[in-house]
Amino acid sequence: MRQIEAVEVLRIIWRRLWLIIIIVGVTLGLLMFRARIADPVYEADVTLMITTPDREDVAVTDEYTFTSDRDLIVTAVNSFVEIAQYDEVKDRTKAVLSVTKDYDVTVDAEIGADLIYVIVTVDEAELAQQIANTHAEQAIQYFGELRARPSTVGLGYFENELAAASQELTDAESAMTVFLTENNIAVSLEDEIALQQEVLEELEIAQVQGQTTGSESSDELSFVVDGSRSVAELIRDKRDRLNELILLRPQYNLLKGDVERAQRRYDTLSARMTDTELRGSFAGEALFVQIIKEAEQPESPRNQTTQTLILGFIASLGFGILSAFALDYVLARW
């Protein structure tokens, strides 16, 4: 049964062979005519590579370790392939070269080798080379800008937060300065207390020595003793001053804590802002996408006539066979 069906198919093809030949011949003729009248097209290509960042760059940014992960490398390659075909890249390329002529661009990737091929076709050989090289450079730049965009947004946030933290630190330091000035404290409360305790101890020692010798003044007390006042009065004043300073401790500690918290917040935000700037700079430069082979000026136009004729022959042959069966079916029904 199958042999009969095969024989019948061959008979139909043989009977309508003229139709198949006409369809194939007309198709190939039209393709050859079109190839003859078509303007020459020149093709230039640039080869790029996704490389791993230097170890010192990774250590600084602590972010782009994705290059050790094959899945994320593939993601980076695929993202670049898509971005390199954006109209924005073509518009930038035309602006740089000051050309208005349109061109076709194809971007292919060889994932295993992390290679990317940017292929440009245009009707001028020299222009094909210039456009291919410039398009690759603009694609890298735009790719970096898109990757750096999150860091740019984050940088604006940290700038605002850092300004607020700086104001908070200034206010805290001003409050501490006012407190120290109002209470006649030179450097810090703890240093002032230590100084007063040291002076008080010297006075008490001098008082004991004075009681022993029967005198309340001596050359050793010249740095603290006012000739019009007794040692006992000075001791009493120093004790009052010391108690006054000790009572100021809670308020001082609160102010000191405010200054320290404001300083820590400012330092943290400043460090994070610096880190964000480094990350954005690294991403924006797209250092891991490099051109390893620039485009060269093509010596002759691209010739795809043979390939086009082969595809046209296959397509027209299939269409001719289907047309032969359709015609045979229609005539059989009549």
Provide the residue ranges of all domains of the chain, joining segments of one domain with +: 1-40+302-334, 158-279
Average pLDDT, the chain: 79
Residue 297 DSSP symbol: -
Which residue has better confidence, 36 or 167? Answer: 167
Q: Provide the Cα torsion 104, 109, 114, 115; round to 10°.
A: -40
Mean pLDDT, rounded, for 185-212: 81
> Which pTM was predicted?
0.49
Which residue has better confidence, 82 or 308? Answer: 82
For residue 313, pLDDT beyond 60: yes
DSSP letters of 143-169? HHHHHHHHHHHHHHHHHHHHHHHHHHH
CB atoms < 10 A from the CB of 189, how many?
21
Order of strands across the sheet with 42-50? 104-110, 115-122, 42-50, 289-293
